[in-house]
Amino acid sequence: MKLHFGRHIYGLGAIAFGVITLFWHQISALGNISHPGILIYFVGAVELIGGLAIQWQRTVRFGALTLIAVYFIFSLFLVPPIIEMPLVYGNWGNFFEEFSIVLGGVIVFASAIRNDLERAAKIKRAAYRCFGICVISYSLYQLFYLSYTADLVPKWIPPNQMFWAVTTTIAFALAAFAILSGRSAYLASRLLMSMLICFSLFVWLPASLIDPYELSNWVRNAETLAVAGSVWILADFLSQQKISPLRWPFGQVPATQRGESE
């Protein structure tokens, strides 16, 4: 099964992370670490190589596996704060956001498997369910930090900042329901992808241009791009199913995954 444009956006997000890592000499997902040394160059190179490799069909599996590994390791580093302060939802939100990027790579990698279509289908179904959980977290994150979310909305967008904070929080919740239930999952994934791209264009890109020396703005740009790429991958995947996504995520294998030609 060939994925469409999603993996290219996903790869651009990884390339952006690599450039940020090398330019600022800081691994954004790990924060400030003592004596990073060669680790900075290694991680930056891995992100760049993975982001480039996933762009071409011949190297897509290598690129996806590389990015899965690096993003999964970053996710593990977000677990200790959850254990230390489990009641602070920001820690959970950071983990699920990072883990959703892992899942985009998992779907790309599984879609490139040719010698075991049944196993590939199972991997993609599992990633699909997990992605729905991550989208629930997006909604909860904004709900718990609604004032902060409202402050991020540009003031020039009518009617007001709080309106868009509430609207996007509800949109995340509806998207999660659609993905997990299978009802209008493809439409929901496309709308979710569009909303994330709008976040990048109207929130993080202007913030980066206004204050180009603030690392967090560029990190959020790259992160939003990577998450949008993951959602795009999910939407590309759903667009290629021959049966309703309402049925297959919960047990039935799509016709294209049983070895039938597309």
Average pLDDT, the chain: 87
207: pLDDT strictly greater than 50: yes
Going from N- to C-terminal start, the domains of the chain cover 6-257
* 239/149: higher pLDDT: 149
Helix (H, G, I), strand (E, B) or coil at 35: coil
Per-residue pLDDT, 252:
44
Please tell me the least confidently modeled range out of 124-133, 139-148, 202-211, 250-259.
Answer: 250-259
Query: Is 103 within 8 Å of 130 (Cβ atoms)?
Result: yes
Residue 142 CB contacts under 8 Å (≥ 6 apart), including other chains: 149, 165, 168, 169, 172
Per-residue pLDDT, 117:
85
* Mean pLDDT value of segment 15-34: 79
Helix then strand then coil, in percent of the chain rounded to 5, is 75, 0, 25
Residue 201 CB contacts under 8 Å (≥ 6 apart), including other chains: none
Please tell me the least confidently modeled range out of 15-24, 199-208, 238-247.
Answer: 238-247
Per-residue pLDDT, 35:
55
Percentage of the chain surpassing pLDDT 90?
Answer: 72
Could you read off the pLDDT of 148-168 as tens digits, one per residue? 999 999 999 999 999 999 999
Confidence of residue 99 (pLDDT cuts 50, 70, 90): very high
Confidence of residue 79 (pLDDT cuts 50, 70, 90): very high
